[in-house]
Amino acid sequence: MIRTALLVALSGLLLACAGDEAVLLGPQEWDDTRFIVESRPSPIRQGMTEFIVIATRDKSRPGVGFVVSLRASEDRDWRQAIQDGYTGVYRRAVWVEDPLGGRLAVHVKKKDGAETTLYFPFPAAAGAN
């Protein structure tokens, strides 16, 4: 119960700090986990951009215990995100070359070795402004 309240409060704080133009990418699902990504700055611009990956299991439990790596360009190396405690929040700044037609690749690996890569198109690439 406390974890759920903490996750809800943390998500609200993240959205409140982002302002009116918060860019949320997703959601996408893998196994029992739902992933949403937020960017800073918002909207996404060329240069170093922090991405916050929020993982949620079931409907309200934080998705913890993953190794999450990010990249916003195929020619860039993967960068491992930092897990913010046991909240299901992972963050990392990566270089964005093309904010209008790019996408964020999120590589997720479980403790048991299962892994996947999720792709989150930037809003301009998906047709949104």
Closest CA to 68 of 38, 32, 94, 107: 107
CB under 8 Å to 126, separation ≥6 — which residues? Answer: none
- Domains assigned to the chain: 2-124 (2.60.40.10)
Q: What is the pLDDT of residues 34-58, one digit of tens each?
A: 999 999 998 999 999 999 999 999 8
Distance of CA 112 to the CA centre of its chain: 21
> In this predicted structure, what is the pLDDT of residue 11?
53
| Omega of the bond leading into 99 within 30 degrees of 0 (cis) | no
Q: Is the pLDDT of residue 62 over 80?
A: yes
Cβ proximity of 75 and 112 under 8 Å? no
Rounded mean pLDDT, 75-82: 96
> In this predicted structure, what is the pLDDT of residue 6?
42
> In this predicted structure, what is the pLDDT of residue 58?
86
CB under 8 Å to 111, separation ≥6 — which residues? Answer: 65
Mean pLDDT (the chain, rounded): 85
Reported as a pLDDT band with limits 50, 70 and 90, residue 115 is very high
> In this predicted structure, what is the pLDDT of residue 81?
98
Instruction: Extract the tokens encoding 31.
Output: 């196994």
Q: Is the pLDDT of residue 118 over 80?
A: yes
